[in-house]
Amino acid sequence: MSTLYNENYFKGSLLLGYTIKKYHPNHAMYLLYFPSQISTSLVCQLEAIGWIMKEVERIPVPWDGHLYGNFDDQFTKLQMWSLAEFDSIIYIDSDAIVLQRIDNLFKMVTAYANFEFAAAPDVLDWQIHTKFNAGTNGLSEGQGNEFREYILETIILKTKTINLPSCGFIGFIILKPDINVYKEMMRVHKVRDSYNLDFAEQSFLNEFYKFRHIQLPLTYNFNLALMEFYPNLWPILFPDIKVIHFTVQKPFLTKIPYKMFKEPFEIWNSLYSEMDKVMDLTKTRIKCENILSPSDLFKYLLLSILFLFFVIFSIPPQPAVEASTSVASASPLNDPTNLNFLLQQQQNQFMESLAKVALRQQEAIYSNSAISVEQPVSIS
């Protein structure tokens, strides 16, 4: 599951969906989005990749607050806990790509009777981990930090040297939906000053799940910022990296990466080219642009009806004509000056226009379904 709050992240969502399907062809992919912010054409293209589009309403920033850029919409992510039709959900931000299978994480949910939430560590949290636990290199799949909460409580919170989330980065998480948990979240996330609002939903979820979360290895969410602080980690972890998260720079928003991010950018661009060849993105885009949205179709029909009424009432009344005894006189049905003839002609043109619109809509939908991937099987 992922989210798309504006069209700036469209290409990111497109490639994320492709890479998920590449390694998980039979799993359902749901994309939460704001219908007012994403055009019908883009929705069509995302569905062609395999996303199941799910409309959601925005959860505003609490305390009458306002956050920077895309952070303003991030509390909407909490709606995933209300989706009780799923036993568990793996969530990935739309600025990430998948390089290996990750569905083994679903086994963790069934293995732990009281499982609630799991996330990979945040970058700065990893700095704290290495600084205060020099004896643990944390590079193995089963790495853990048994002193982690002690460090956060004793070193960070009491000394106020740094104010960070306490469990992980919310760009890649696995959760267990529960409507009662969702209702509790909707209540407590509004409690003023109960967490650092600057980190948006990340701060809230870290506070909400403090002491009852599972920490995932870094390989499940390799944050690009790690290369800035620990450049040697990339070659060490790369064979096992399952997800790359483009946090610092995004390939779909910038063409020239920082030198340190050159290799991840090359991977992203290579996968995007692969997707273009497999899916024929140009053909998909053209077909999707021919599909009228319900609102556009309604506007077209309304304008057509108004035009028809205008034509009917704009025809001047016909003067009385004496009957002709000429055998060669025109038939009333074919006489261009006959009112019935004009009305019938306008009606025929109107019906032909509607038929053309319906045919074009049907052909576009049929053509689009022909390029879609295999329908996913829902995980629940």
pLDDT mean over 255-265: 91
pLDDT, tens digit, 9 for 90 and up, residues 87-120: 999 999 999 999 999 999 998 888 888 889 999 8
pLDDT recorded at residue 63: 76
DSSP 99: -
- CB neighbours of 325 closer than 8 A, spacing ≥ 6? none
**Encoded tokens for 290:** 């021919």
pLDDT recorded at residue 143: 36
pTM: 0.70
Indicate if the pLDDT at residue 337 is higher than 90: no
Name beta bridge partners: 377. 27
Give the pLDDT band (50/70/90) at residue 19.
very high
Antiparallel, parallel or unpaired: β 89-92 and 2-4: unpaired
| DSSP assignments along 207-263, one per residue | HHTTTS-EEPPGGGSEETTHHHH-TTHHHHHGGG--EEE--S--TTT-SS--GGGHH
Amino acid in position 221: N
- H or E stretch covering 118: strand 117-120
CA distance 278 to 282: 11
pLDDT, tens digit, 9 for 90 and up, residues 171-213: 999 999 999 999 999 999 888 878 777 778 888 898 888 878 8
pLDDT recorded at residue 351: 66
Higher pLDDT, 306 or 88: 88
Give the pLDDT band (50/70/90) at residue 132.
very low
pLDDT, tens digit, 9 for 90 and up, residues 265-277: 999 999 999 999 9
pLDDT recorded at residue 365: 56
- H or E stretch covering 98: strand 96-98
CA distance 257 to 331: 77
pLDDT recorded at residue 357: 62
pLDDT recorded at residue 338: 58
| DSSP assignments along 253-320, one per residue | T-SS--GGGHHHHHHHHHHHHHHHHHHTHHHHHHHHHTSPPHHHHHHHHHHHHHHHHHHHHHSPPPPP
